[in-house]
Structure formats: structure tokens, C-alpha cells
Amino acid sequence: MMEAHLLSFVKRVNCLSNHDRSGDQLISSEFSLIRKKTASLKEDYGLTTNAGGMKENVKKNRYRDILPYDQTRVCLTPTTSEYQSDYINANFVKGAVRNRTYIATQGPLSSTVVDFWRMIWQHNVKVIIMACREIEMGKKKCEVYWASTSDTSTLGPFTVSTLEESRPNEEVIVRTLVVNYCDEARKVSHFQYTAWPDHGIPDMPDGILGMMELARQKQGNQTDPVVIHCSAGCGRTGVICAVDYVNDLLLTEQIQEDFNILDLVLELRRQRPSAVQTKEQYGFVFHTVAQMFQKALEMKNMNADTSLYINAVPPKISQKSASLAPARAPAKTRNPHLKPRLSLPQSTMNDTYAVINKSKVQAPNSAPHSVTVHFYDNANSEKTNNSAVYSTVKPKTRPVSAMPLSPSPIHDRPMPANQRGGLSLKKMESDGYELLPGELRSMNRDSQPHGPPLSRSPSATESQSSTDDDYEYVSSVVKDGSSPFAPGSLGFNSRIKKPKGPREPPAEWSRAER
């Protein structure tokens, strides 16, 4: 009969998941009702917070508005003369079965770490569940009350060391702590869930359920309370208490037709203030419980041992988009996400290099669509021979007497960028490129400056054109044009700009270099 109730709840939550807007409205309306009834609970049960508001105890509260109810608060017994106070911000919370009890408490402060261990020792706690990280969003959420694996911490009359530490998955850290007090040593299992975002909810409940399964195995049949805390000890702490409470109802087959999350959260809030603190956390309880019920139904159908918690796995998709349909086979491994290409090192291009055309010949046994055609800035896509290794660069026709032909290629070193003004490039002829002036040979055609060229005087603007008369061809420093390799020659061809004004060098040529 209980299976029908489980199936009904799963269908209800599944319907909420498929209609996000109506589902959010239902969750919002129920949570608003919880907040209204919480005020009446305090009046109906006479709940007070006098101990937490006392002057000597105010500094022991992490948050001023989260104070433990006097009716269910944990009272400490004196240990040493230095630690006589009985106050700690913690409450007992009853479980679904008689031998199940929780202690919901805040994350210890630096001034209350000793009180925290006093509570652990006094109630013989074997399992601690921590639902937060020490620092979240740049704020300290909980004091570190344990020691690293290579160290030992002395906290008042207690000595705490970490025997071992492991990570069963990316979300959970499991520690085995050893606590010594008055020549007696006890082991405490510590479970820390690190993937619960502050002011949010986990993407999927699998990690929480997996951690709680491990904690339940450590707890076994012991009747000692389980300590659960986050930062304030109400929001995330309340969610874990609610989920574990439902787990016990399942194991003892106490799920009735009138089962609902609203009454469960109200019962928790009667014992610990603000348990399940936000609407998002309230909705997360719905989805987590529905996943537990789904698991229970599957195990019933398989006639296997009921294991309501699921092994912890890293979150895959957001909780809102999670489907509550029957579990499917694991999806195939997805292709890795494309990573942005690293930018190539930028070349200063202080020298002129030959440009090699990438071969467009299709590799053997490769698919036709795998060939990528590249077009380079210095290649004419219509006339370039694809089989050629080097692109053809056709120099401009020059008078033979002025510039003898040379069997070797001509390489000129470009001038610095600050000397490129006053010159402009000719348009490329359809049958190739012309040889560019030395000052501009390294410039990419796409990066040419636009607008009128710079000039030294207004009258020289029109005369600054790249014509044959602007340059004279010099084969050597001496006026011997018989051979470019005559004694005293430059050894290479170069063109020198004809002077346009007086023979005296410009003033900027005489400036000292910095």
C-alpha cells in the first residue's frame, strides 16, 4: 500500500518539474504558508530564546537572529573551572524513529570551539555532518575545529588529531578524527559536503544522498545523536535533517497517504528555528525526497535490498532540469568541450620571409570535407598555382641600365614603423605584385593607414606619389655601373629616395637616440 503513496508523490514532483512556472508557484505558496505558521508555532508551544539572548551568551551566537529555543536547546555540563557555562547555540531534533536524534548547531566560532567539543564528548557523538565550507564568498562560515593529517590541535582540555582523510568523490571529504580527553581517546567520523553553494542549492541531490549513506553506515545502530551543522545551523542543516527523517520513514514503512513535506518542515522548525530557511531549499527537499522514493520503487521491483541513498557522483545537470523519470543507462561519454585556441606568438617581422603556400592536396584516406582551404594575404586565389610551394612575386619592370637583373632574390630590411609616413603603396597589378619601397615592404596590406599621407610641407603633398621619378636606382657607392659586385659596391640593390628639398638633412635626423 505504501508503494502507491510513493508513486503518487513522485508523479506530483515530476509534474512540477515539467511545468516550472506552476511548480514554482506551488513551492512559493507552500513556503509562504510555512513562514506564516512558524509565528503561530512560537505562540502555541510557548517557544522562547532567553538563554541565547543573555548578555554573556550573545557573543557566542554567529548570527543575532538565529538563537536556539530554550525548550530544546543542548545544555552543556561543566568540564573544567574555566568552562562552566552550559550554553551553546544548538538544539535537539527528534528523528522519525525513537532511537534517532539529531543535534542541529551552528558552525563553531573561534571562541566556541571548545564548547563544540564539550558537546561532542558529553553526548558521545560518533558522526558529524558538516554542510558548508570553512570560507564561502570571502567570508568565514565556520572555524576549523579539527587538525590537519600531519598536526595535532589542542583545544582547551581536548586534543584533536586527524587519523585519515579521503575524498570518495569531488563533493565530499571524509575524515577520521581522534579526540583525547582525560586519558581517554574516541574516534569521530567527520563528513564535509563542499559543493553546496552559499545562498543556493546543489545542482543534483546525488552528492548529498551519497554522503548521508556513508554517514548512516558509520552510525550503525548506535542511539547517540548525529551532529549536523552548516554556518547558522538552520538552512542547510534543516534540509539534511528533513531528508534523513524521510529515509527513516521509508525504512520503517511509515509513509502514509497524508505524508507531505510542509508538515515535516513545520515539525523541524518547532525544534530548531528557521530550519529549511529558503524557498529554494524547500524545493530541493521535494526533489531529493522524490529521488529517494523513485529509488525505493525500483529496488522493490528488483526484489533487492533497499538502499535508498545513491552513491555520490559529481553533479551533471542543474536540479531544475533533472528528470524524475526512471533511471536510464549511463549516457555515452560526451565529446570534450572545445577550448579556445591559444593565440600564436606575434612576429615583429624585422626581416622579410618567403611565404609558403599550404598544400591543398587531399591526404590519402581522408574525407573530402576534412580539407581546409587557406587563402593568404599575399596569394591571388584565382591565379596562384596550388601545386607550387612558393607564391609567385613578380617585381616591377625596371630599366636594365639603372638596375641590373640579379639571379638571387632581393631582400630588403624594412625601416622602423615611425619612418613609414609620407609614402603610399601602389595598387596591385592583376598579374602580380610590384616591388615596394623599403620603408613599407613589411606592412600588411590590410593594415595600411587610410587618409591622406603625411608630408613635411603643404606644397609637397601632391608630389608624394610612388612614381619612377621618385626613386633612383643605385648599384654601388661609387659611380661604377658595370657590375654590382665591383670593389666598394654595396653588394645588393637598393633604391634611395630622391631629395625633394634642400640638400641639408632634416632636423629630426640629428636628434640623439634614446
135 vs 495, more confident: 135
> What value does the mean pLDDT of the chain take?
74
pTM for the complete prediction? Answer: 0.61
Interval 475-494: pLDDT, tens: 444 445 555 555 544 555 55
Instruction: Assign 509 a pLDDT band (cuts: 50, 70, 90).
Output: low
pLDDT digits (tens, 9 = 90+) for 5-29: 899 899 888 887 665 666 788 899 9
pLDDT tens per residue across span 152-205: 999 999 999 999 999 998 999 999 999 999 999 999 999 999 999 877 899 899
pLDDT digits (tens, 9 = 90+) for 316-340: 334 433 333 333 333 433 333 333 3
Residue 506: what pLDDT?
64
What confidence category does residue 33 fall into, taking pLDDT thresholds of 50, 70 and 90? very high
Q: Contact, 160 vs 177, CB < 8 A?
A: yes
pLDDT of amino acid 503 = 62
Cα angle 184-74-282, degrees, rounded to a multiple of 5: 115
C-alpha pair distances (Å), 308 with each of 126, 227, 241, 291, 357: 22, 21, 15, 9, 64
214 contact partners, CB below 8 Å, separation of at least 6: 168, 172, 174, 191, 312
Q: How far apart are CA 60 and CA 113, in angstroms?
A: 10
Q: What is the pLDDT of residue 31?
A: 95
Residues 364-415: pLDDT tens digits? 444 444 444 444 334 444 444 444 444 455 555 555 444 444 444 444 444 4
From 87-91, 115-119, 244-248, 408-412, the region with the lowest mean pLDDT: 408-412
The answer to whether 490 touches 459, Cβ cutoff 8 Å, is no
CA-CA distance, 181 to 155, in Å (whole number)? 10
Does 75 qualify as catalytic in the annotation? no
**Active-site residue, selected from the candidate residues 15, 132, 182, 230:** 230
Is residue 68 predicted with pLDDT exceeding 80? yes
Q: What domains does the chain contain, in order, with CATH numbers?
A: 2-301 (3.90.190.10)
Cα 246 from Cα 244, distance rounded (Å): 5
For the segment 196-220, the average pLDDT, to the nearest whole number, is 90
Instruction: Tell me the torsion sign for CA atoms 371, 377, 379, 380.
Output: positive
Per-residue confidence (pLDDT) for residue 15, from 0 to 100: 80
Pairwise CA distance, residues 153 & 477, whole Å: 85
178 contacts 160 by C-beta, under 8 angstroms: yes
Specify the pLDDT at position 25.
84
